[in-house]
Structure 1
Amino acid sequence: MLLSIIQGIFNKKSDTQLNELVWKAKSGDEEVMNELLIAFTPFMKKTASFVCNRFIDDSDEEFSIAMVGFHEAVLKYKPEENASLQTFAHLIMKRRLIDHIRKEAVRTANVLLTIDDDVDAKPREYAFDESSIFSYSEERRAEERREEMAEYATLLQEYGLSFRELAEVSPKHADSRKTAFQIAQIMAETPEFYEHLLENKRLPMKQLEHIVEVSRKTIERHRKYIIAVTLLLNNDFTYIKEYVKGELI
């Protein structure tokens, strides 16, 4: 009975009703949580298959990991802060699966190789080393910031963007900005999507539509902002990234 209600919600695209079910699951309603897991099973398999680049079914360990990631996403999901549940869950599941793939690679090789460095790369990328920062004079730090801004501006020009234009088109509402930022994060963390952006200077709209639970019109409306944030996240702009640390999932 509950499953049919959930499926009806999906068909009607009712965010309010879905959020109510998520709230019940977060509050300890195991029946609702189980029904959500069942209803989103195809989405979990699709995400796992996408990340692993092969077909994933119920018997694969990767499916179990995706399910654990989705369960975690439901418990952490905050409608007022995050994008849609589907977009948020995709990011969480993908990270859990990548962690699994890395651990399996280490176990198979029986040596750490460079995997250990890769595992820690993302946190270091967005964090400052305070001791090294304060060793610079204020003048030197200001110069480095100016150099980063100039480099970022040059990169944006390759995509027909400028700081002035971004200030005009950036989402004004917090929820819209969060949605656009999380789409950019998916872009930055998905090699196929990022390569498409680099090669074609535009977003892979069809692929994004299948992953994020927002309309093509919404993605297109925030296209310039999404591209700019994607480029920021995947390039070495340490000072500029400090301003967006709070947006990262």
Structure 2
Amino acid sequence: MSIIQGIFKTKTNMSELVQMAKAGNEEVLNDLLFANTSFMKKTASFICKRTIDEQDDEFSVAMNGFHEAVIAFDSTENASFQTFAQLIIKRRIVDYIRKETVRKENVMLLHIENDESSSTQHFLFDEKSIYTYTEEQQSVARKEELIRYNKILNEYNLSFVELTHTAPKHVDARKTAFQIAQIIADSNELYNYLIKNKRLPLKKIEVLVEISRKTLERNRKYIIAVVLLLNSDFVYIKDYVKGEII
């Protein structure tokens, strides 16, 4: 279990371990699953809006989603592995909830049809309404995330309106800014500096990237917003904006 002892020292190690597991190393895969048990439970609990433990079916779904993320992860195309895994787990749990809702409604329908004392005229099974209900739950969750994210941004004197005006307009510039944000999010030192001082460690960043100080300053607000998003549990927002920020 030596892999587990150092697994969270840096997210670079995590990416390397994921590649090893993806290549077929079963021992590394098992260690990753074990080391990320809390992460899977936390992600599933957030999506389900209740505490999820290892005995719950939703945890099994989350674990399968994590495994799927390991197999599908591409470090050249995706964001950090944790971000990618959150999105996959979210999608699988939402699919599971939808299927379970339909299954339970079908069981209810069968029970009513077999009950001679009941009138099926009083029962209406509408799959569309079930889908709508699930979508409404997701809509509420998205709104809650936006409220929480806005509060975090306010701590850095940022707002959604301001970000709309300051975000890089060109795709290449946006991609570069995102890559810088990824470096900060993946570095404990840089990220902790941001959290503590509410500003970017520009001098240290300049050493790591071939970007001018002027460009860093111009995209400062956007970079901070992306860093905060990457290291959050806002799975719905990440899913929604993934194609925009990368």
- What TM-score, normalized by structure 2, do the two folds share? 0.54
Task: Name the structure 2 match of 1:228.
Answer: 225
Task: Name the structure 1 match of 2:189.
Answer: 192
Q: List 4+ stretches of structure 1 deviating above 6 A.
A: none
Which sections of structure 2, spanning at least 5 residues, go unmatched? 1-7, 21-29, 40-65, 71-80, 102-132
Instruction: Supply the distance in 2 between the matched residues of 1:112 and 1:202 (Cα, whole angstroms).
Output: 36
Instruction: Supply the distance in 1 between the matched residues of 2:174 and 2:163 (Cα, whole angstroms).
Output: 12
Q: CA deviation at 1:205?
A: 0.7
**Do the aligned residues in 2 keep the contact of 1:181 with 1:229 (CA within 8 Å)?**
yes
Q: CA deviation at 1:124?
A: 1.7
Q: CA deviation at 1:115?
A: 3.1
1:112 match: secondary structure: helix
Instruction: Supply the distance in 2 between the matched residues of 1:206 and 1:165 (Cα, whole angstroms).
Output: 25
CA separation of 1:219/1:138 partners in 2, compared to 1, >3 Å: closer, same or farther? Answer: same
Q: Are positions 1:240 and 2:237 aligned together?
A: yes
Q: CA deviation at 1:100?
A: 5.5
Q: CA deviation at 1:140?
A: 1.4
Instruction: Supply the distance in 1 between the matched residues of 2:18 and 2:179 (Cα, whole angstroms).
Output: 23
Task: Name the structure 2 match of 1:115.
Answer: 35
* Counterpart AA for 1:126: L
* Counterpart AA for 2:87: Y
Q: Are positions 1:125 and 2:76 aligned together?
A: no
Q: Are positions 1:157 and 2:142 aligned together?
A: no
Identity rate, percent: 48
CA separation of 1:248/1:115 partners in 2, compared to 1, >3 Å: closer, same or farther? Answer: farther
What is the RMSD of the two structures over their aligned residues, measured on CA atoms?
A: 3.5
Count of residues in Structure 1 that have an aligned counterpart in Structure 2: 156
Using the TM superposition, name which of 224-233 and 181-190 deviates more: 181-190
* Counterpart AA for 2:143: R
* Counterpart AA for 2:234: F
Which sections of structure 1, spanning at least 5 residues, go unmatched? 1-50, 54-93, 104-110
**Do the aligned residues in 2 keep the contact of 1:187 with 1:194 (CA within 8 Å)?**
yes
- What TM-score, normalized by structure 1, do the two folds share? 0.53
Q: Pick the aligned partner of 1:99 from 7, 16, 38.
A: 16
Task: Name the structure 2 match of 1:146.
Answer: 143
